[in-house]
Structure 1
């Protein structure tokens, strides 16, 4: 049974790098293409000296790199696409996105501190449903985790139970 590639929903990059990169990585791993991003692909300097087996492997690597680039190009809008100067390989494109939108450790630390404070002072609002409150606290906890904070589920549950209104 052949795979219909038109049914693949490529996650669009909307400014939230951590979320997008996890979705893209998962999709590329499922397709068996993550190695192109992880290890990269280098064109040999002299392609004429390759034997038939090496040429076949090179053609397969080129094809896989083109597939990953195709998915990356689908995920990026024109304005972001045009900001990537070197689009020669999927690894270079991925690293460019990571460098520009991934944030550095100082930014993540500041974000963690802000989110920790928000988590600590959060309480159930008047008229708020338990479901909405649970969702709000879970969203803060997930943002903390995304920024590198280790947060156990029992801490979240304890926070919710401790701060529920009557």
Structure 2
């Protein structure tokens, strides 16, 4: 049996603490499955056979859960600025450890740079290259 004609199933985006990036990926995923309207309009009854004692964040609808995640992880402007400032400091003091491989250091540098960009920092590629 060949894999021709088969579609690769998208994976469900895992929440990693970066709400803006995750929410964009998750919204696209839900729209591709035509489930986004459940988040927008909500579903107030539990699915048949579902354990009603297990509610996510004790919210009644998908919309409530989405808004709760947004409020908790997107944060206020003040929180975002503080997070960005911490990331700037982390980037500034970042250096390669003696036992660290180039690939590991490169990866750590890109992770911090991407987090900074997610938080709104305009970071030129040349700055990242110079850091590496």
Q: 2:58 aligns with which of 78, 83, 90?
A: 83
For residue 24 of structure 2, what is the aligned residue in structure 1? Answer: 22
Task: Give the length in aligned residue pairs.
Answer: 115
Q: Is the 8 A contact 2:87 2:116 kept in 1?
A: yes
Residue ranges of structure 1 left out of the alignment (5+ in a row): 1-6, 42-64, 71-77, 161-166
Assess, with a 3 A threshold, how the Cα gap between structure 1 residues 122 and 92 changes in structure 2: closer, same or farther.
same
Assess, with a 3 A threshold, how the Cα gap between structure 1 residues 122 and 17 changes in structure 2: closer, same or farther.
closer
Q: 1:110 aligns with which of 71, 74, 82?
A: 82
Q: 2:111 aligns with which of 135, 139, 157?
A: 139
TM-score, normalisation: structure 2: 0.67
Distance (whole Å) between structure 2 residues aligned to residue 138 and residue 17 of structure 1: 15
Distance (whole Å) between structure 2 residues aligned to residue 12 and residue 133 of structure 1: 24
Deviations 1:111-148 (A, max 9, x none): 11111011112122213211111011111111112222
For residue 33 of structure 2, what is the aligned residue in structure 1? Answer: 31
Assess, with a 3 A threshold, how the Cα gap between structure 1 residues 124 and 17 changes in structure 2: closer, same or farther.
closer
Q: 2:73 aligns with which of 96, 101, 109?
A: 101
Greater helix fraction, Structure 1 or Structure 2: 1
Is the radius of gyration larger for structure 1 or structure 2? 1
Deviations 1:9-57 (A, max 9, x none): 434546x2525323312212323444664xx33xxxxxxxxxxxxxxxx
